[in-house]
C-alpha cells in the first residue's frame, strides 16, 4: 500500500480510502447499498489487511448507522483505533428541528458529540464540511 501525507496535517493516509456510504442502507441511503454488520466486518478486515488505514464516513449516512457499524467492526476485529485515520463529515439533516442541519456552531458541536459516541472514540482525525445536503 502507498501512503501520502494528508495536506499539511502530518497524517499519513493510504492512497486508497474506504468509503462507507453503503453501510446499513437506512432511508435515503438504501439505493447505495445495505451492507449488514457481517459484510462491514469482512470489508474492513479485507482493506485493513491490505494496508488501508483511511476510512471515510458521514453523520448522515443511514442517519449515523454507518458510524455505528464502523465502531462495531473495529471492536469485532480488535483493530487498534490509533492505526486508523477516521474521517467524517457534517452539514446534512440529522433531525426535524431547524437547527438539526447546516454549519452553525450549535449543529457542529452536537454532531461532533454524536459522531464521537457513534464511532466509539474520543477523537476524529479529519472533520469535513459535507457537500451533499439531505
Q: Domain with 10 in it: what CATH number?
A: 3.20.20.100
pLDDT higher than threshold 60 for residue 134:
no
31 is catalytic: no
Report which of residues 30 and 50 the model is more confident about.
50
Q: Which of 3, 23, 61, 123 is catalytic?
A: 61
Going by C-alpha positions, the residue among 56, 71, 50 that lies closest to residue 19 is 56
- Would 80 be classed as within a structural domain? yes
Residue 21 covered by a domain: yes
Name the one residue in this structure whose C-alpha cell is 473495529. Answer: 74
Quick one: cell of 113? 458529540
Overall number of domains in the chain = 1
Instruction: Give pLDDT, residue 132.
Output: 63
Q: Is residue 90 part of a domain?
A: yes
Does residue 42 sit within a domain?
A: yes
Provide the pLDDT confidence category of residue 27 given band limits of 50, 70 and 90: confident
For residue 9 the three cell numbers come to 496535517
Residue 134 in domain:
no
Beta bridge partners of 17: 54
pLDDT, tens digit (0-9, with 9 covering 90-100), for 73-131: 999 999 999 999 999 999 999 999 999 999 999 999 999 999 999 999 999 999 999 98
Alpha helices in the chain (DSSP H): 37-49, 65-76, 105-119
Range of the domain at 15: 3-129
Distance, CA of 78 to CA of 72 (rounded, Å): 10
User: What is the spatial distance between Cα 56 and Cα 12, in angstroms, rounded to a whole number?
Assistant: 15
3-state DSSP assignment of residue 37 = helix
Amino acid at each position: 500500500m502507498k501512503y501520502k501525507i494528508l495536506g499539511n496535517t502530518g497524517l499519513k493516509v493510504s492512497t486508497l480510502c474506504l468509503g462507507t456510504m453503503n453501510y446499513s442502507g437506512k432511508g435515503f441511503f438504501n439505493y447505495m447499498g445495505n451492507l449488514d454488520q457481517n459484510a462491514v466486518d469482512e470489508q474492513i478486515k479485507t482493506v485493513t489487511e491490505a494496508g488501508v488505514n483511511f476510512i471515510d464516513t458521514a453523520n448522515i449516512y443511514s442517519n449515523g448507522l454507518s458510524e455505528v457499524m464502523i465502531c462495531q467492526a473495529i471492536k469485532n476485529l480488535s483493530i487498534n483505533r490509533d492505526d486508523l485515520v477516521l474521517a467524517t463529515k457534517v452539514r446534512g439533516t440529522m433531525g426535524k428541528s431547524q437547527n438539526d442541519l447546516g454549519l452553525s456552531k450549535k449543529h457542529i458541536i452536537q454532531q461532533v458529540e454524536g459522531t464521537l459516541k457513534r464511532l466509539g472514540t474520543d477523537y476524529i482525525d479529519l472533520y469535513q464540511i459535507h457537500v451533499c445536503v439531505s
